[in-house]
Amino acid sequence: MILIDEISSISRHWDQTLTTLFKNDPGRASRFVAEGAGLRLDYSKHWLDCAVLSKLVDLLCTSDFLETRASMFAGDRINTTENRAVLHVGLRGKSTDNFTVDGAPVTPSVIQARNQAYGFAEDIRKGIFVGATGEAFTDVVNIGIGGSGLGPLTVAEALKPMIDGPKLHYVSNVDGAHLHDVLVTLDPRTTLILIASKTFTTQETMHNAAKAKQWISNVLGETAIAEHFAALSINVEAMRSFGIADTRMFRFWDWVGGRYSVWSTIGLSLMIAMGPEVFDRLLSGAREMDRHFQNAPADHNIPILMALIGIWYRNGFGLDTHAILPYEQRLHRFPAYLQQMEMESNGKRVDRAGEPLDYDTCPVIWGEPGTNGQHAFHQLLHQGTMVCPVDFILTANPINTDHESHSLLNANCLAQAEALAFGMSTDKVLEKMLADGWSRSDAIRLASHRTFPGNRPSSLIMMDALTPENLGALIAAYEHKVFTQGILWNINSYDQWGVELGKAQCNALRLGFESGDASKFSTSTQESLKWLLEKKY
């Protein structure tokens, strides 16, 4: 691909360090900044100068990015392998918006579904809708996997201080321990269970849903199912077959991908726990980022800059990983959320026409909150043989914590970014060790172990506080980053065929755990199954 080749060519001539970039450009720190929708992106600590940034923006403009961005917001079927629109931006629309799919308005149905969910949530919160015994619901269990679980879980953890309704619990893993460890603490009489599955066929979700159904039935009888369950899906008949009442079916659309669905009725658990007003604020922040993404110039556009920087490192320098390090404990699930969003979207090996790629696409996305990571993997970030770009995420103000702790947290964050960028040379290490009283021989012997090479790039993504609006904007910024990178890599970011083969193999192999026959599989799998069955209690 010409664009990727250009990036590779530009990178071969790059010979500046972050130290020289700041030395030669005193105004760099104030100019390599973009702001929008309540977020501030400081990208000054990256291997960029004005000339490189200009070339990257020019390359973006020579792609079909502008046309495809317009097509996405217009509801065109840009998911070509599944022949679907990609309109999660429409999920945060207001009644005055006019989102369409194939020219047909969808905003009225989005508002209707949202209002239905809001009404149900309010009735749960007010104790109007109660369980089979007449008791109000104290707990909500959301059973779903992928975006149907990780999306609302991430938001629930981030906005935990705003939960003033029933307690939230999320079950995703088919490992029975996950469901058991949640249900063992709950009372079926006061528990509402939400089944979140776009197709209502997801293996893990439906297995756990059946077990939860039995848990309710064992105590309250089968007639209680209708009052203790609700479902979020596009498959009406499957919901009815399970026993979900029509009034407790909350639908969305096939143009909503699971990892982009938290804005839809998949967020029902959040509406119940925090109330529609808070959820509206989340949507509002995402909507502001949508506008920023559509209207801000490329060199001041947060998602575009994030995307270009990522492409620059992945295809210009062959960097294989990207770390997400929130210095905000309540964002502790955010790196995992982005793992799915980015790697399921852009972990592709063929282009939009189905031809094999001869360049790299999505890096490995990983991370943990600071300061925990400082006592774990930061050693590798600072002194390892690989270079890993970092997104640091931080807030100016704490919520429900003290300012002293928050200042210490932020000081750690800025210090880590500073140390990664500028390091400490061997000469400075020697000088410091001698000043501290080390003998010259010991200082010389140990100096290399204490040397920090620096020149490790990072972004600072800042907001005034972790509010619903800012969280919505943050999530939407990464969504649009993923979109932009997908266009530049010429891949379809909105299918996920890579998860299907494992599912099919599991369904075929499951019978082997009863019969002991895995003859259709490799000898390795046959021997593993044999061992497992021999050791089974």
Q: Which residues are catalytic?
A: 344, 375, 503
pLDDT class for 219, splitting at 50, 70, 90? very high
* CATH 3.40.50.10490, domain 1-7+37-87+281-371+387-400+458-494, yes or no: yes
pLDDT of residue 161: 97
What's the mean pLDDT in 365-379?
97
Mean pLDDT value across residues 324-334: 98
pLDDT of residue 30 exceeding 90: yes
Q: Cα separations (Å) of 466 from 173, 202, 471, 486?
A: 28, 33, 6, 28
Q: Is residue 1 scored above 80 in pLDDT?
A: no
Question: In the chain, what are the domain boundaries?
Answer: 1-7+37-87+281-371+387-400+458-494, 106-274, 503-535
What average pLDDT does range 521-537 have in this prediction?
95
Q: What average pLDDT does the segment 230-243 reach?
A: 94
pLDDT band, residue 504 (cuts 50/70/90): confident
pLDDT at 3: 84
- Give the rounded distance of the alpha carbon of 199 from its chain centre: 21
Determine the 3-state secondary structure of 282 from DSSP: helix
Fold of 106-274: Rossmann fold (3.40.50)
Q: What is the mean pLDDT of residues 463-485?
A: 98
pLDDT digits (tens, 9 = 90+) for 172-202: 999 999 999 999 999 999 999 999 999 999 9
**Dist. CA 274–CA 166, nearest whole Å:** 9
pLDDT at 500: 85
pLDDT band at 499 (very low <50, low <70, confident <90, very high): confident
Beta bridge partners of 169: 141
pLDDT at 2 over 80: no
How would DSSP label each residue in 203-219?
HHHHHHHHHHHHHHHHH
Phi, psi of 191, rounded to the nearest 5 degrees: -115, 130
Buried b (16+ CB within 10 A) or exposed e, 151-177: bbbbbbbbbbebbebbebbbbbebeee
Cα–Cα nearest to 484, from 298, 334, 339 = 298
Mention every residue, 6+ apart, whose C-beta is less than 8 A from residue 163: 156, 273, 274
408 band by pLDDT with thresholds 50, 70 and 90: very high
Compute the distance between CA of residue 257 and CA of residue 225 in angstroms, rounded to an integer: 28
Enter the tokens of residue 370: 């600071």
pLDDT score of 489 = 97
Q: What are phi and psi of 197, to 5 degrees?
A: -155, 120
Report if pTM > 0.85. Answer: yes
- What DSSP state is assigned to residue 17? -
pLDDT, mean of residues 434-461: 97
For residue 8, what is the DSSP state? H
1-7+37-87+281-371+387-400+458-494 and 106-274: identical CATH topology: yes
> What does the buried/exposed string (b/e) look like for 451-483 if buried means 16 or more CB atoms within 10 Å of the residue's CB?
bbebbbbbbbbbbeebbbbbbbbbbbbbbbbbb
Determine contact, residues 145/171, Cβ cutoff 8 Å.
no
Q: What is the DSSP string of 131-147?
A: -TTSPPP-EEEEE--TH
Q: How many residues does the chain have?
A: 537
**Residue 468: which residues within 8 A CB-CB, separation 6 or more?**
159, 162, 278, 279, 281, 282, 284, 285
Give the per-residue pLDDT at 117: 98
| Number of Cβ within a 10 Å radius of residue 242 | 18
**What is the spatial distance between Cα 240 and Cα 96, in angstroms, rounded to a whole number?**
33
Angle between helices 203-220 and 176-183 (to 10 degrees): 40
Q: What is the mean pLDDT of the chain?
A: 96
Which of 307, 298, 352 lies closest to 495 in space, CA to CA?
A: 352
pLDDT band for 503, please (50, 70, 90 cuts).
confident
Residue type, 499: V
DSSP-derived pairing of the beta strands 390-395 and 321-326: parallel
Under 8 Å between Cβ of 494 and 257: yes
